[in-house]
């Protein structure tokens, strides 16, 4: 009887390990090409509640250009924060991005001006996703993450500016 209990326990433990294998990283910072990027935790403040997002930060042109290209999974509660040195109205595209994303464009004060869903693109020309207003930062998360939490224009991103690298 004791041996049977041990065998059942070992079998269940093996099944649990097998189910979690290949599930992917817990945060974007666990991705090999993002592990050395700056990280900061921000808070999305919405009417339906506040939500913490662990972000990797793209504050320089080379990192902003690479973005989430090649990333196969964006874990829940993770994202990429694009930071710019001045307001802009230019758009984002999804060239060589593998997963659908949702993007929130926000002012320097953190006010969200637009939220858009974006689809991966392999071949040129790719759709360019433009906000309807100027922005200073953009938060990319898994598609539907913001919508599922009721986040939209008028909500806010609480950003610890003093913890961010200087944008160029």
Q: What is the dihedral of CA 13, 15, 17, 23, to 10 degrees?
A: -150
53 Cβ contact list (under 8 Å, min separation 6): 41, 42, 43, 44, 77, 78, 79, 139, 141
Per domain, the residue ranges of the chain are 24-163
> Which residue has better confidence, 35 or 135?
135
- Count other Cβ atoms within 10 Å, centred on residue 31: 20
The pLDDT of residue 31 is: 79
The pLDDT of residue 22 is: 43
Q: Which CATH class is domain 24-163?
A: mainly beta
E strands in the chain? 39-46, 49-58, 78-88, 92-93, 101-106, 112-118, 128-129, 135-142, 156-158
Q: Over the stretch 48-78, which tens digit does the pLDDT of each residue have?
A: 999 999 999 999 999 999 999 999 999 999 9
The pLDDT of residue 5 is: 42
How large a percentage of the chain has pLDDT more than 70?
85
């Amino acid at each position: 009887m004791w041996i049977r209990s041990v065998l059942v326990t070992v079998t269940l433990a093996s099944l649990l390990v097998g189910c979690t294998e290949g599930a992917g990283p817990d945060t974007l910072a666990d991705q090999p090409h993002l592990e050395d990027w700056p990280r900061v935790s921000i808070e999305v403040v919405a009417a339906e509640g506040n939500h913490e997002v662990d972000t990797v930060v793209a504050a320089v042109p080379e990192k902003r250009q690479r973005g989430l290209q090649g990333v196969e999974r964006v874990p829940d509660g993770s994202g990429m924060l694009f930071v710019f040195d001045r307001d802009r109205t230019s758009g984002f595209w999804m060239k060589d991005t593998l997963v659908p994303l949702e993007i929130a464009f926000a002012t320097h004060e953190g006010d969200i001006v637009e939220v858009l869903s974006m689809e991966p693109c392999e071949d040129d020309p790719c759709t360019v996703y433009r906000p309807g207003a100027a922005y200073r930062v953009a938060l990319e998360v898994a598609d539907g993450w913001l919508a599922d939490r009721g986040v939209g224009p008028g909500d806010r991103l609480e950003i610890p500016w003093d913890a961010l690298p200087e944008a160029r």
